[in-house]
Amino acid sequence: MVKKENNTDELITHILGGIEEVKGKDIQLLDLREIENTVCDYFVICSGTSNTQVNAIVNSIQKTVSKSIKDKPWHVEGTENAEWVLIDYVNVVVHVFQKHIREFYDIEGLWGDAKTTTIQTDY
């Protein structure tokens, strides 16, 4: 099942809302559509300051998306230690990191060809 572009935009909007709700940091949107053989169209990447905040971000994203557009992730991984949690919504994959883990894996660097948008927050 292929989702329409506007549904993807709406999904991203609600994911960002869920992150901002609990003050996720350093939010980046990577557009992977111009890169060959990618597993999805977009990555949303953000950081939390602790495993508690990482889990709060993950829960907020899932609650916001579920409530707003009745969508559930296809897969969620990493909630046990909450250093790097991946939420897979098929066309959009969300990575919620603790800062030191994000710096170590440098997803933005690995996907350097992607069009990157920094999401400005008011906090």
Q: Which fold has domain 5-118?
A: Beta Polymerase; domain 2 (3.30.460)
pLDDT for the residue numbered 35: 95
Whether residue 6 has pLDDT greater than 90: no
Q: Give Cα 23 distance to the centre of its chain.
A: 14
* 5 confidence band (pLDDT: 50, 70, 90): low
* 1 confidence band (pLDDT: 50, 70, 90): very low
Interval 66-80: pLDDT, tens: 999 999 999 999 999
Question: What is the pLDDT of the chain when averaged over all its residues?
Answer: 94
* Coil vs helix vs strand at 120: coil
pTM of this structure: 0.94
Return the CA Rg of the chain. 13
Say how far apart CA 30 and CA 65 lie, in whole Å: 19
